Structure 1
Amino acid sequence: MTPRNVLVIGANRGLGHGLLKVFKENGYNVFGTIRPQTRSDPSFEDLKATGATIIDLDYLQEDSIAAAADLYGPDKPLDLLINCGGIEMYPENWLDTTAESLIYKYRVMTVGPFLASKYFLPSLKKSEFGKIVNITSEWASVAANNCGTHISYRVPKSALNALSISIAIELKAAQENIAVLCVDPGDVPTKLSRWAGDIDLNDSVRGMYEQIEQATIEDTDIFSMDIWMVFLDSPEVGAIQVLDA
């Protein structure tokens, strides 16, 4: 069997780095992106050590996303596109949030995955069954928001969920064999969370891997009505639950 290909955007640290390593362990050809300005960071050496093919990509620069897709190759099958780049949740109080920070996080966590999905679509179409995986959060849920706070994180992630549903519906209408999934990793201590969280990173990425692997094209049908998330802080690690957007 020909090894499948996975591209993880934001692969030099945290959840992205962990996911890339798990997919490599399971026989995938792994491609990981890093922002060009981060190549001087020690995390670049960690990414190199995985043996992944490294591609420069910055969610804030559309031309860099287009260039990354061209470098990957529009005629090369891409079985999995994982949008994992993110920004920390703070500030907590909405009155401390500036318009600039809200727009900045929206560009990274909503517009970036939109552009990546758009530019890598030709490669996803070359796969027998392609999957776009957007890393979301329980914090993105409108229905489950009972405490407010962290508005500059919640709003872009909620928009990412809406974006994911719309893309899933349009791909289905176009009869493309591509599923779109939203996956919540749980509260994992990473640099992005300022090391807060009680879910082990390895448990999280392995749970996400299992759910991503098990997903079928039929999941997009359900997904068009609800957000599917992996709640790794639930009693059953890796259990899928349905949560209203």
Structure 2
Amino acid sequence: MTKNVLVTGGNRGIGFEIVKGMLSKGYKVLMGCRDEESGLEAKKQLVGGDLHVIEMPLDNETAIVDAFVRAEAVFGPIDILINNAGVLDDTPWQEVTAESLAKSMQVNVYAPLTLIQQTLPQMIERGFGRIINVSSSYGSFAEELKGPFSYAISKAAVNALTVKMAAAVDEAANGEPLDVTVNSMTPGWVHTRMGGSDAPKTPEEGADTAIWLATMEKGGPHGQFLKDRKPIDW
């Protein structure tokens, strides 16, 4: 049976390349987008494959759950969740407000949490699932969180979310073999609207590790932070 993949922020940049890569491997892909129009515009660039546009604003929990429930009712359970959507707020720390930080946290952390809460229990029940959180080395303590204030903090938080949810899977497995994995990955510095024109990596190269994690066989990485298919320090 064809597996269902949900990719948030799938209409451009790295997300678009993830969508394209998963389609090429024969998966049914749900392209999560802030608005349906931008998703349908992106879909025109993709020929063939089982692709569906899902309008899923990530700015509040209720909107996310409503969109998810509707999508699952039509297309069935999500087997692979790729939390790709993100915002980069480069406001200096002196000017950051609780409200502006909350916006970064909502899209970069709370939205992935909400979607994991919707998908992970069923993945555990079925004995299969892949969750990939697209993070950043800017959220790495090992690299001193060198990115912009709100972005670095929110990406460090999504890494913490990955660790906690991977532990939740292990606890649910209770020593039994369970083919459910949760990982973070960083695409590196990628030439996208967010990464800018000076970035050395193409969006396709940035998407590679996420696609690899999504399609790997049983026994692959779990509870890890990866770059270029290799574990890196948190």
Q: Aligned residue for 1:189?
A: 191
What's the secondary structure of 2:53's corresponding residue? strand
What's the secondary structure of 1:52's corresponding residue? strand
TM-score for both structures, normalised by structure 2: 0.86
2:202 corresponds to which letter in structure 1? D
**Within the alignment, does 1:165 sit opposite 2:163 as a pair?**
yes
What's the secondary structure of 2:142's corresponding residue? coil
Q: Aligned residue for 1:85?
A: 85
User: Contact (CA 8 Å) 1:140, 1:154: kept in 2 or not?
Assistant: yes
What's the secondary structure of 1:31's corresponding residue? strand
1:218 Cα deviation from its structure 2 partner: 5.8
TM-score for both structures, normalised by structure 1: 0.82
User: Contact (CA 8 Å) 2:2, 2:27: kept in 1 or not?
Assistant: yes
Q: What are the residue-to-residue correspondences of 1:59-138 with 2, within 5 Å?
A: 59-73=58-72, 76-91=76-91, 93-125=92-124, 127-138=126-137
Report which stretch shifted further, 7-16 or 137-146.
Answer: 137-146
Q: Which digits, 9 at most, give the CA deviation of each residue in 1:141-197, with x for residues without a partner?
A: 112117x45111000110011111111111211125421010111100111224441
2:90 corresponds to which letter in structure 1? Y
1:121 Cα deviation from its structure 2 partner: 3.0
1:113 Cα deviation from its structure 2 partner: 0.3
Report which stretch shifted further, 68-77 or 13-22.
Answer: 68-77
Q: Aligned residue for 1:198?
A: 200
User: Contact (CA 8 Å) 1:17, 1:47: kept in 2 or not?
Assistant: no
Question: RMSD over aligned Cα, in angstroms?
Answer: 2.4
Structure 1 pair 66–149 and aligned structure 2 pair: CA distance change class (3 A): closer
* Structure-1 separation of matches of 2:147 and 2:187: 20
2:134 corresponds to which letter in structure 1? I
Q: Aligned residue for 2:225?
A: 228
User: Contact (CA 8 Å) 2:120, 2:129: kept in 1 or not?
Assistant: no
User: Contact (CA 8 Å) 1:10, 1:84: kept in 2 or not?
Assistant: yes
1:21 corresponds to which letter in structure 2? K
Matched residue count:
226
* Structure-1 separation of matches of 2:62 and 2:125: 22
Identical amino acids, percent of aligned pairs: 25
Unaligned runs of 5+ in 1: 231-237
1:219 Cα deviation from its structure 2 partner: 2.8
* Structure-2 separation of matches of 1:102 and 1:207: 28
Unaligned runs of 5+ in 2: none
Q: Which digits, 9 at most, give the CA deviation of each residue in 1:204-224, with x for residues without a partner?
A: 22343224423645632xx2x
* Structure-1 separation of matches of 2:179 and 2:108: 25
1:158 corresponds to which letter in structure 2? A
User: Contact (CA 8 Å) 1:125, 1:178: kept in 2 or not?
Assistant: yes
Q: Aligned residue for 1:240?
A: 230
* Structure-1 separation of matches of 2:213 and 2:179: 18
